[in-house]
Amino acid sequence: MFNLSDTIAAICTPKGAGAIAAIRISGSDSWEIISKIFAKNTQSSALKSQHYFIHMQALYGHIKDGDKVIDEVVVLPYKNPKSFTAEDVMEIFCHGGIRVSEMILNVCLKHGARLAHPGEFTFRAFVNGRVDLTEAEAINDVINACTDKALHSASQVLSGSLKNKVQDFRNKIYSLATSLEGTIEFPLDVEDVNREELSSKLKFITDELEHLIEDSSEGRVLREGIKLSIIGEPNVGKSSLLNRLLENERAIVTNIPGTTRDTIEEKLVLQGWPLVLVDTAGIREHNMLDEAEEYGIQRTKKAVEKSDLVLLVKDLSKQEEHDSLKLYELIKDKPRIVVGNKVDLIESNGKPRACDVEISATQGTNVAELKLLIIEKIKESIKARSNNTSIFVNERQKELLVQTKTSLQFVMEQSKKEIPDDLIADELKKSISKLDEITGQGVNDDVIKNIFAKFCVGK
Ligand code: GDP
């Protein structure tokens, strides 16, 4: 896939001006390249001794292109296998300008390094056994985590929690398979495996697998955000509510343009939960009364289809219009909260009104309650049952866990019949191969390519 014998280099800090930028070099020529372009001070010639490299001592000096000094830098050498890639690695820390880091990268390339592909450093760490595939994927999740929860989960996987769990499943299944094989090879010496006992051990494993699979929906929400739309008739206070929700909450990115104007999205974190507000701006800009009624409904329908949760806003100070019935119809199968707005304009008559929460978007009344309701609904809709030790698997890992579970359930079915032990043992081994794919053994190149293509250059 990638040529492993090349020495590769890339800028591994984001593009833009900053205090420091870093350029990473990995491969067997790393030291040679540094010794050609680095001088311990501007006067001295290149480094001769490998002492610093072998003892992994930080070096202070200058990067030069021939006689021309490019920048004052610190170089951190890592001798294999004690590096991120388990190869010889050099990290150059220079001033954080776009041009200076590009010039340093170019001089590395001029002296024999090749520009690294996205994710190629992590790919080498994987190939060299520094990390398994779950840990490699978690590196990307740590980088992309937008919330504390997402970060916590990703760092746990990076520390090996999923790898260990999968290893534990593997050991248990392997031990069952070998005990079955033992009875085949040495039928006289080994007692028959009790099929009921086998089934109950497999049931225990499939239950544990099921927990991991269930938690994955929470993982998806943490990675991608829960999609929430605010809908309602014109002037009920949708944009006022949106602004109120964004207040005091961290907006991650605003106005990410979608493929059409209909799919403008805004992201925010609500008490640790990432939310993506779907199409609110689109609905807000257009007064449905001014447009063909059908068009307004179609726009709302699109937003609702994309959402995991819908807030239907109504104006408590007004009689509901005929249109609102259509809105109720649109959201009847969705997790939803009916928000009665403008409570400040009405007198309490003691009678409950047809909504889940009464708020005033402009005055802020009961907005905290609404936020709690939103969180409650999110947890309900993803069946969140996680605690701090939960592992949130991604879609690829989930698919393999489902296949492992299906395969074990098949064995449980078969074990009730008069099927020979060796066939049962074979089936158990098939499920082991699915678990191995989670950690990266026997995975085909395309899958690996896909995983590392999601990384940024320099990682
Ligand atoms: P949208 O068309 O549904 O997005 O509605 P807007 O948010 O633009 O609000 C329409 C009008 O209602 C504006 O004049 C707001 O100031 C007003 N409004 C919104 N929420 C409230 C509220 O809770 N109380 C009162 N009194 N006015 C509100």
Per residue in 191-245, pLDDT (tens digit) is 667 888 899 999 999 999 999 998 888 888 888 888 899 888 888 888 888 888 8
Burial of 416 (0-12, 13-18, 19+ CB in 10 A): exposed
**3-7, 217-221, 360-364, 440-444: which range is least confident on average?**
217-221
Q: What is the rounded distance in angstroms from the CA atom of residue 114 to the CA atom of residue 93? A: 19
Half-sphere exposure (CA, 13 Å, Cβ side) for 438? 29
* Average model confidence (pLDDT) across the chain: 85
Determine the atom of ligand 1 nearest the C-alpha atom of 234.
Answer: 2
Tens digits of per-residue pLDDT, 50-61? 777 777 889 999
Q: How far is CA 232 from CA 141, 237, 281, in A?
A: 36, 8, 13
How many Å lie between the centroid of ligand 1 and the Cα of residue 341?
8
How many Å lie between the centroid of ligand 1 and the Cα of residue 238?
7
Cβ of 227 closer than 6 Å to ligand 1, yes or no, is no
pLDDT of residue 296: 64
Burial 322-354 (b: 16+ CB within 10 A, else e): ebbebbeebbeeebbbbbbbbbeeeeeeeeeee
pLDDT at 155 over 90: yes
- Assess contact for 274 and 221: CB atoms under 8 A: yes
pTM comes to: 0.75
How many Å lie between the centroid of ligand 1 and the Cα of residue 362?
7
Cβ of 344 closer than 6 Å to ligand 1, yes or no, is yes
Q: Whose CA is nearest to atom 10 of ligand 1?
A: 235
Cβ of 365 closer than 6 Å to ligand 1, yes or no, is no
Tokens 């991604």 belong to residue: 394
Place 288 in a pLDDT band, splitting at 50, 70 and 90. Answer: very low
Tens digits of per-residue pLDDT, 101-133? 999 999 999 999 999 999 999 999 999 999 999
Q: Which of 113-127, 248-262, 265-279, 420-434 tops mean pLDDT?
A: 113-127
Place 249 in a pLDDT band, splitting at 50, 70 and 90. Answer: low
Q: Whose CA is nearest to atom 14 of ligand 1?
A: 235
Cβ of 341 closer than 6 Å to ligand 1, yes or no, is yes
Return the higher-pLDDT residue of 250 and 448.
448
Cβ of 340 closer than 6 Å to ligand 1, yes or no, is no
How many Å lie between the centroid of ligand 1 and the Cα of residue 359?
12
Following CA atoms 171, 173, 175, 180 in sequence, which dihedral angle do they give, to the nearest 10 degrees? Answer: -170
**222-231, 307-316, 349-358, 431-440: which range is least confident on average?**
349-358
pLDDT at 173 over 80: yes
pLDDT of residue 356: 94
| Interval 150-156 mean pLDDT | 89
Per-residue tokens: 73: 């830098």
pLDDT of residue 162: 95
CA nearest neighbour of 268 among 284, 246, 248: 246
pLDDT at 286 over 60: no
How many Å lie between the centroid of ligand 1 and the Cα of residue 343?
11
Q: What is the rounded distance in angstroms from the CA atom of residue 133 to the CA atom of residue 122? A: 10
How many Å lie between the centroid of ligand 1 and the Cα of residue 378?
26
Cβ of 134 closer than 6 Å to ligand 1, yes or no, is no
Place 396 in a pLDDT band, splitting at 50, 70 and 90. Answer: very high
Cβ of 360 closer than 6 Å to ligand 1, yes or no, is yes
Q: For residue 88, which phi and psi values (nearest 5 degrees)?
A: -70, 130
Q: What share of the chain is helix, strand, coil (3-state, %, to 5)?
A: 50, 20, 35
pLDDT of residue 43: 62
Paired strand residues for 95: 20
